[in-house]
Each structure stands twice: as C-alpha cells, then as structure tokens.
Structure 1
Amino acid sequence: MNYISLNKKAGAVSFREAVVRGLAPDKGLYYPENIPMLSEELLSNFNNLSDQELALNAIRPFIGDEIPATRLSTIVNETLSFPFPVKQVEEAISVLELYHGPTLAFKDVGARFMARCLGFFNETSGDEKITVLVATSGDTGGAVADGFFGVEGVEVVILYPKGKVSEIQEKQLTTHGGNIRALEVDGTFDDCQAMVKQAFLDAEILEKRPMTSANSINVARWMPQMFYYLSAVRQMGSSDKIVFSVPSGNYGNICAGMLATKMGLPIHHFITGTNANKVVPDYLSGGIYYPKPSVATISNAMDVGDPSNFIRIRALYDFDEDLLKSWMSGYSFNDEQTLQAIRKLYEAEEYLMEPHGAIGYLALKSFLNGLKETVQGVFLETAHPVKFLDVMPKELVEKIEIPAPIKQLIQKPAHKTGISSYADLKSILLD
C-alpha cells in the first residue's frame, strides 16, 4: 500500500515512510492510495471473531509486508489488551466506552499501535534516534507519553496549552521523564499544532534530527482507531441500522470510523458533536468551511478551530459535498447544556458521562429527535470522568471513583518547560 499527500504536490510513499515522516513535504496529510474492502468471508463470520482478529484483518492491507504477519499480530494484540464495552443507557441508545486503557482515553489505541510500529521500524533499519513531536488539547499527550515511554531510539516532545488541560491530563504527560519531554505553551491548542507543523517544514531542524508526529495526522495514529468501531458493530449484533455519534475535535476519530465504513463495515450514519468550536457543524448545516481561532470550553479535547483530519473525511467522499452531508450530521452545544446532560442522565439512569461523551450523547439525541426510521444509536464516551474533576458538576464529583493508578499519578512531580513562541521550540529541538 502506498500513501499519497492530499495536497498532491509530493510523491507517493510506503507505510513506513508515511509513519516516519508524519507529514508530507508539501504540508499535506498522507492518505492511502486506495481503500481495501473487508472480505465477504470476514463480514459473514463477523460476530464469531475476536476484536483482535477483526482488527488484524482490517489493518493488514494498509501495511502489506512492511511488518511481518507474526509481528503485526503481536502489535495488534498488545494494542487491544483492554475491552471496549457497549452498554445500553436508554431505549435505542447505547454508549461505547473507550476509557479502559492505561491512560483512560480513546487515544490509547492509536498511540500504542503507532509506538509499536515505530519501534519495529527502528529495530530493523538501524536509523538514528527519531523525535516524535506532538501537540495535545488534552488526552493525546498522556496516551503518547504512555505508549512511547521507554521505546528504544524514540524521543518524545509534547506541546500542550497552558491552563487549558485538566490537572490529571497534565500529570499524565508531564510525570514520565526519561525519553518524554513536555512543553507548556503560552497559547491555545491551535498555537501548539501550528508550531508542530512549522517544525516539520523547518530544514534546519530536520537536518539535525529526524522527526515524526504522533497526532492523528500520522496514519499510524489515525487508522487503528477503526478497531473499536469494528468491536462495537460486532457487539451490537443487530439487524437495525447503527448510527455513531462521535465527540470531535481534530476529527481523526470519526474519520477512522468513516474509513471502516468505506471498507464495508455496516454503519448507517455518523454524527459529529462538538462544543463552541463548531466549524464543521456550521459547514454541514449549509455554511462554508471556514476555520476559526479555537475557544476554551470544559470539553477541552475538542477545543480545535482548524481540524486537521477534515480533509481526510472530504477525501473519503471524493470531495463531493452533497455525498458527505448525506453521511454526516453535526451539532454543537455550550458548556451549560453539557453539564445539564451529565446531570440528567445520571439522575435518570445512574450513568455518569464526562463532558466529551455528554456532547456525543446530546448530538445523538438531537439526531434521533423526530427521526422516522428505526436505528440503534451509539455515542462514544472517549475518556474517564475522573480526568475532568475540575469541570464536572460538583454534586457528582463524589460519585466518581478514582482509580488507583490516578491516585499514584497525582502524587508524582511534574517535569515541564514553558515556551511562548516557535523560536523557543526551535531552540529546544536544535539543542
């Protein structure tokens, strides 16, 4: 499988090159040259296969023989070492819990898969040390720090916006030390992401150190997120049409689900839910696509004003605006609506959501309201509520059980460096 740049001004590359480079030389995101289909045999035997078997069959065509079959199987098994339970919370509404991994967030899947792929490439190529440069609005940093900690030949530099991640999120990305370095940026997530993209195009830096990204712009972070959609569809085991509602920030998560659908996974429709950063919902409701500066909210992982992966979503639907809008609906909600949803669902069903999952829930309810056809809706709970103690409804904080690893984490000292400009980042990377 080759990968092309969506800016179409750079040559096609292998999976390994796409992973190692992260971003194409023309600033474009890498995208598979063709979309392989799930086999009829796999689809007919779908409910009898394990999550690991489904994932291995789905991802193998994207990698080919660049990673041996036995090693790829090991990578998938190690990536999917925790469950993705689907639980019904209301009639026709279920939740897909994606917070049972080591950092209690959905990004554990992509980070663990990419770390293991990059580790294999380093083992077999004898390349010099590579730097993984990543921007985070919340959960990516912790997942990347955990996934790459101790990986031989890999140094990780994480940029995060000062004062705009929760205390636990900050601890998860600043307490490792070793090959993990955290940079606290005086700015927004968009500022962090812009610095990362600028560094990838800086010849002076690239001459000194090879770099790649562990944001969802990297194909090895983006594509394995399809794994939990495969798991959810298997668990649903229903003849009803399945609709997924995905809280969205940089749009890599929902894009991975759409990729799986293009491969033949039977999903009827996708819903994106977001906060005040509603560039995509505005576009889907008839407006133009116009990125804006991000706005800070209590659902901080979605505080993205210029989502990188939306161009991949457009590519999946051949840049056909009408076709895309027939597959995807979008809604946005403010902080007060988010908190009210958390309170109401807990009062009614004793199910406790965090702010991102709550927006997914609200978006699904909005889509189902007045819908005439019968569907089964699934919203994604993308992180554990304990990661958002500082913004959860105060009366519900005491209901949140703090996992033992988090209690230990809170006691650890943070190791971070403050920066305020690209010049600061460049100086650190050149040092």
Structure 2
Amino acid sequence: MLYYSTRNPELRHTLDQVILNGLAPDGGLYLPQKFNQLPPEFWDRATSLTYQQILYEVLITLTAGDEYNRQELKEEIEAIFDFQPELIALETDLTMMDLNTGPTSAFKDYGANTLGIFLRAIIGQSANVSSRRVNTTQLKKTILVATSGDTGAAVANSLKDYGLSPAIQVVILYPKGRVSEDQRLLMTTIGGNITCLEVDGTFDDCQAMVKQAMSDPAIKERLTSANSINLIRLYGQVAHFIYAGSRGIDPKTPNLYCVPSGNLGNVTAGYIAMLMGNPTKQFLVGHNTNDMFNQFVLEGILNNQNTAKATISSAMDISRPSNLERLVVLFGGSYNLDGTIYTMPDIAAMQKVFYVQGFGDEETQIKIKQVQDNYNQAIDPHTAIGFLVLEQCIATQHPEYKQVPAVILSTAHCSKFGQIYFDSVGAQAPVSGPILEARGKSEHIVSIGASYEELAKWL
C-alpha cells in the first residue's frame, strides 16, 4: 500500500515513511490510495471476537501489503492492550461506550498505543520484534505532540520506557491554563524521555508550532508527530467503532455514533470504519462553541477563527481542526499547496454522513447532571456533548432516530474535570487509578512563549 498527501495526490510514500514523517513533506496529511474493506466473513464472526482480535484484524486489513510481521503484531496487541472499551447499556437502543479504561483515562490511549506498537516495530526495539526495519544508529526521532488535554498523556505513556530512549524523545506542547490540573499531571510527572513544554497560548498555537517544525527543512528529518495528523493513530481508533457495532443486538443493523469532536480525529476514524464495512446510520458530531465544522457541513463555509474560545470542554477548544483536511479530500475536495481549499468537497454527501451541532457550557453542565440522575453514570463535559447531540438531532431533525441503536462515545474520565463535575452535580467526582497515582508525583515543566522561534530554539 502506498500513501499520498492531501495536497499532492501524486505523492507516493510507504507506511514506514508515513509513520516516521507524521506530516507529508508539503504540509499535507497522509491518506492511503484506498481503504481495504474487511472481508464479508469477518462480520459473521465479529460477535465472537475480543476487542484485541478485532483491532488486529483491522490493522492487518488496513496495512495489507506492508511487511509487518503479523504474529509479532498480534503479540504486541495482546501485551499492550490489557484494556478495552466498556459498553454500558443505558436503554434498549442507547449504549455508552466507555473509552476511558486505559492507562491515562481517555480514548486517546487507543490511537497512541497503536502508534507505539508500530514505532517499536519500525526501529526493532520491541521485546517481540525479531529484526529491525530501520537501523537505530541512523534513527534519531523527536516525537512532537500538541495537546489540548488528553493526547499528550496518552502518547507519553505509550512511548515511555520500552527501550526507545535515546532513539526516541517525546516533546509535548500544551496551552498554559487550558488543560485541567489532572490532565497536566498525567503528562508532566513522567520525566525520562518525555519533555513537557507549557506554551503561553492556545492549542491552535501549539498545533501551528508543531506543523511549522514538521515543515522546517533544518530539522524536519528528525521529527515526527504523534497527533492525529499521524495516520496510524487514526487506524488505532477504527477498531472501537467496529467493536461497538459487533456487540449490538443485530451486528448488521446500522448504528448511530455520537462523537464529541475537536480535531476530528475520532470521527474520521469512525468514517474509515464505515468505509471498511462497519454498518453506520450516521455520525452525530458534537462540538462546543468552537463549531467551525458545523458551519462547514451546514453551509459549506470555512470560517477559520483566529482564536479558539475557552470552554469547560477544553479538549475540544480547537478552531482549526487538522483532520478536516482529510475529510475534505475523502469527500471529493482538493487542496492547494498552501493549505487552502482548491475544490470544495461534496457538501450534500457530507450532510448525509455527518449531523453536526455545537453546544454551550450551561447546557453541557445540565446534561452532566441529567446523565448522573437518569443513568447513574458520572461523565465529563465532552461526553455530555455526545448525549446532547443525540438529543438535539432527535428533537429537531430525525425523530425516527429514537428507534435507531445509538452509541455515545465517552472520551475522558470525569475526574479529569472534577471541579466541573462538582459544579454540575454537587458531589465529588470518582477518581480513576491513573489520576490518583499521578497526583502523588513531581512535575517536570519547561515554559515557552507561543512562537515557533522559541520552539525551534529549544529543539
């Protein structure tokens, strides 16, 4: 399988190059020439497969033709993924998929650990990998990560230790004052080959700095990104959509997937699952008031806000979602080399696949309490937006969806937003084990300004 850039359909790179580069040389995002479909017989046996087995089959299907040792990949998945999504039945046709069961209590653990598996396969330093694909004496990679809250911790956890240092160093950029205390602790208390840069700016600033570094001829050869701009992270998130679908009353009945969204990585992964054959009725995409994707899908208007608005669902405080570029191309659009849209995608087709709506802080907090009262489930503000978008869609456009199986993705543990939960419910949030452990450790933080010059100087 070869891969092209969203800004250059003639580009041809291997999967190793995709993973190690992160971003295409022209600043675009990588896509495969095609997404392989899962074979028809897979769907007949999917109900009996474990999550780990589904992830394995998804990955070998998406990477078919790439020379990764399948037995070693299977062993790595079984060793690393000692966690899986928990499906919680709330009503007959309503399920919440808890994706917060991993080592950093957020859905980002799924994509980040998949990236870690493939990086270790490439440099040959996994305990289960018998031969190197790349000579580590020639490979010195710095993994750059911009995080709005959860990605940084997930990537740090997936790439700490494992014998990767000194070949792999991880540098995390996060916006000062715009992540919760527990989100910060989960990444700043690791140390070792993990460095955390606290940026005096927004997540959009952090993401722009990472992208500029990835395009800087002076240093880009020794950099890669672990954000969802790295395609292999999206591949790791495809499986939980298929896992949820396989556990329905009838696995062949299309589901609604209610996805809280910021950078659009998770919903792009869901769309890839749909292209692979996962029965899907529609994606209900929920945003906070940073709802540029809503305007784009509804009206075909690309409104790049200069600065993201601060909300209580801070991991979605993103005004320029990177994965929109992938979705535009997948729906028939194209890009200029400077990152502006050259040809608009098929907006009507996007509207059939995505229902999109944004919500404010007050209604988000009300929904947190309602879910606690009605279902005895403690949720974070991002998950609350998943509930809100389903409710809004049924009330305003599709009343028939009340009888359609719906899966709401719970994307972060409520204890990461303990004060918001307390303000909403009037009780203390339950605390996850990883967060409790992080609270007892010392932090390691480097402060920089929101300019690429400061990042380049530091690198």
Give the TM-score range, shorter chain.
Answer: over 0.9
RMSD: 1.6
Cα distance in 2 for residues equivalent to 1:368 and 1:381: 19
- 243, 248, 269: which one pairs with 1:256? 269
Alignment match, 2:148: 137
2:400 equivalent in structure 1: 372
TM-fit CA distance, 1:224: 1.2
Please give the alpha-carbon distance, in whole angstroms, between the structure 2 residues aligned to 1:295 and 1:3.
Answer: 35
Matched-pair contact (CA < 8 Å) for 1:134–1:213? yes
Q: Residues of 2 paired with 1:237 and 1:76: CA distance?
A: 27
Structure 2 residue 48 is matched with structure 1 residue 20: no
Partner of 1:98: 99
- Could you tell me how far apart the structure 1 residues matched to 2:141 and 2:303 are? 35
Q: CA deviation at 1:324?
A: 1.3
Aligned ranges 1:214-293 → 2 under 5 Å: 214-238=226-250, 240-292=253-305, 293=307
Supply the distance in 2 between the matched residues of 1:105 and 1:86 (Cα, whole angstroms).
Answer: 15
- Whether 1:381 aligns to 2:410 is yes
1:341 CA drift (Å): 0.4
Tell me by how many angstroms 1:79 deviates. 4.3
Scaled by the length of structure 1, the TM-score of the pair is 0.95
Distance 2:374 2:207 in 1: 39
Pick which of 117-126 and 351-360 moved more. Answer: 117-126
Residues 314-370 of structure 1 deviation map (CA, whole Å, 9 limit, x = unaligned): 333333221111111001100000000011121222222110000011001111225
Q: Is the 8 A contact 1:339 1:393 kept in 2?
A: no
Distance 1:178 1:245 in 2: 37
Aligned equivalent of 2:55: 55
Aligned amino acid, residue 204 of structure 2? D
Shift of 1:424: 1.1
Identical-pair percentage: 37
Give 1:392's aligned amino acid. Y
**In 1: Cα distance, 2:113 partner to 2:379 partner:** 25
SS across alignment from 2:399: coil
In structure 1, distance between residues paired with 2:347 and 2:80: 35
Please say if 1:198 is aligned against 2:209: no
Report the TM-score, using the length of structure 2 for normalisation: 0.90
**Does the 8 Å contact 1:250/1:302 carry over to 2?**
yes
Distance, in Å, in 2 between the alignment partners of 1:79 and 1:233 is: 23
Q: Among residues 326, 330, 347, which one is paired with 2:373 in the alignment?
A: 347
Q: SS state of the match for residue 372, structure 1?
A: helix
Cα deviation digits, residues 144-163 of structure 1 (max 9, x gap): 11011114121000000000
Tell me the CA shift for residue 174 of structure 1: 0.6
Q: 5+ residue gaps in structure 1? A: none
Q: Given residue 234 of structure 1, which amino acid in structure 2 is its aligned partner?
A: S
Name the structure 1 match of 2:331. Answer: 317
Q: How big is the shift at 1:313?
A: 2.0
Which residue of structure 2 lines up, in the alignment, with residue 359 of structure 1?
A: 385
Whether the 8 Å CA contact 2:422–2:428 is kept in 1: the answer is: no
